[in-house]
Amino acid sequence: MEFLQSEEHRMIRDVVIRFVNEDLMPLEADVLAREARGEGLTLSPEHEDLLNRKSQALGLWGLDSPEEFGGSDLPPDVMLAIHIELGKTITPYKPLPDSPNLAMLMMTATPEQRKKYLEPYARGEKKSFIAISEPGAGGDPSAMSTTARRDGDDYVINGRKIWISRVPESDFGIVMAATDKGKGSKGGISAFLVDKGTPGFNYVRKIPMIGGAYTSELLFEECRIPASQMLGQEGQGYGPMQQRLSVRRLQLGAWCLGMAERAISMMVDHAPQRKTFGVPLSERQAVQWWIADGVMQMHALRLMLIDAATRIKNGERLKSELSMIKIYATEMSATIVDNAMQCFGAMGMTKELPLQAMANRIRVWRILEGPSEVHRMLIARNRLRAGP
Ligand SMILES: Cc1cc2nc3c(=O)[nH]c(=O)nc-3n(C[C@H](O)[C@H](O)[C@H](O)COP(=O)(O)OP(=O)(O)OC[C@H]3O[C@@H](n4cnc5c(N)ncnc54)[C@H](O)[C@@H]3O)c2cc1C
């Protein structure tokens, strides 16, 4: 189903399709070999450099950055179409900037912060992370115990953060901390811009995750930053943080759809060719039902994503709908990829096909940006609140 209305937007999406097919897909064998050697699901520096140059030349940087910073300012529905295509490959590359922190900076940065952080970030010259989760507070970030205490013209941050993505490659981070523990998410949590290398910002360890990914543990010990580094108003960090998470949830839905489409396409290619007991796998009902159920679920997810992207574009702030997408996308794509692995038999268990990397990546997504159970709780809570 074509949902992009303008010819210009369809052309941008087509450029992304060609970039995925001609530049990202051919690197998959190398990425998988690195992962099999224990080097993580990573690109070699030469390949990363090559992709940066190519994607910049194609105009794929700053796709949702404001035009004043050289971006294309593309709306959510076009970004959705682009992320569905980028989701089809396990080559770990996305043109910069990463959208969620861009959205949070756009909502909150002061004129000085825009110049120092937002502008270079929007142009892809600086990278950033966000540190919300802690050893004692992940699925329920309102229980965070990291504090930021006001001291004259400064804030002093103390606490431990864990499972944080993209720290080694980042220049700065958005660090969430309690400025009034008693108020929690309702006026007690603030966001701060912290540069790497600030005294008291300690890198504790790199944590290997499944699927060749990495996260980091950080320790803030009397980490002193000027009050001007606060992002947004004191105590009002939770709302923009949640909106930032919403951007990622829509992206995750698109990436899951891309992966599911790739898995189904691999099955459709393989099943007619492979004969067992004298009959092609494609003539077995079990395999046909994997394909039929997968195609139905992908159609449903596509409609959910288009609905959400269109409503966000029209200015609506969605809650339950994004939780539904997060749950449905991760669960249905996990099943589709698992069925594809089954269809390929032993070949599906190797590190030569991308299926295992897709399965692990989707598995992780059922935890990050809020575990499925927490999203189910939120959907039910919102529906119960709405009354019969
Ligand atoms: C690969 C990866 C990257 C990440 N990147 C970042 C990052 O960049 N920044 C960041 O801040 N965090 C990041 N996280 C952390 C992530 O957001 C948290 O792991 C997630 O929110 C869950 O928190 P937790 O691990 O503490 O699990 P917990 O909150 O302890 O929950 C554990 C389990 O308990 C169950 N559960 C929890 N609450 C409920 C409930 N209300 N009802 C029913 N069951 C429930 C769920 O099954 C859940 O999986 C990342 C995590 C991963 C795995």
What digits encode the pLDDT tens for the residues 347-359?
Answer: 999 999 999 999 9
373 C-alpha to center of ligand 1: Å? Answer: 10
With 0.75 as the threshold, say if the pTM is over it.
yes
Q: Which residues pair with 236 in a beta bridge?
A: 189
Residues in the chain: 388
Last residue of a domain, one of 205, 231, 257: 231
12 C-alpha to center of ligand 1: Å? Answer: 35
- The model's confidence at residue 276, banded by pLDDT at 50, 70 and 90, is very high
Pocket flag, ligand 1, residue 367 (CB < 6 Å): yes
Pocket test residue of 101, 128, 133 for ligand 1, highest count of atoms within 8 A of CB: 133
Give tens-digit pLDDT for 79-121: 999 999 999 999 999 999 999 999 999 999 999 999 999 999 9
Last residue of a domain, one of 231, 252, 277: 231
In the prediction, which pLDDT does 95 show?
96
**Consecutive H or E run containing 207:** strand 201-208
Residue 1 domain-assigned? no
Give tens-digit pLDDT for 131-151: 999 999 999 999 999 999 999
Domain enclosing residue 218, as ranges: 128-231
Q: How much is the average pLDDT of 274-280? A: 98
Chain-wide mean pLDDT for the chain? 97
Are residues 336 and 214 located together in one domain of the fold?
Answer: no
Pocket test residue of 248, 367, 372, 375 for ligand 1, highest count of atoms within 8 A of CB: 367
Residue 268 domain-assigned? yes
Last residue of a domain, one of 68, 87, 122: 122
| Alpha helices (H) along the chain | 7-19, 28-36, 45-57, 76-86, 99-108, 111-113, 119-122, 238-270, 285-313, 320-343, 355-365, 372-386
156 C-alpha to center of ligand 1: Å? Answer: 26
Are residues 27 and 154 located together in one domain of the fold?
Answer: no
Are residues 248 and 380 located together in one domain of the fold?
Answer: yes
Are residues 208 and 249 located together in one domain of the fold?
Answer: no
Residue 133 domain-assigned? yes
Pocket flag, ligand 1, residue 189 (CB < 6 Å): no
Q: How much is the average pLDDT of 298-326? A: 96
Residue 2 has pLDDT above 80, yes or no: no
Residue 53 has pLDDT above 70, yes or no: yes
Looking up residue 309, the CATH number of its domain turns out to be 1.20.140.10
Q: Work out how many domains the chain is built from and give that number.
A: 3
Are residues 286 and 225 located together in one domain of the fold?
Answer: no
Residue whose Cα lies nearest atom 17 of ligand 1: it is 368
Residue 1 has pLDDT above 70, yes or no: no
Contact in structure between 108 and 190 (CB atoms under 8 Å) = no
Residue 143 domain-assigned? yes
Are residues 25 and 74 located together in one domain of the fold?
Answer: yes
Are residues 112 and 156 located together in one domain of the fold?
Answer: no
Looking up residue 165, the CATH number of its domain turns out to be 2.40.110.10
- Percent of the chain, pLDDT > 90? 98
Pocket flag, ligand 1, residue 130 (CB < 6 Å): yes
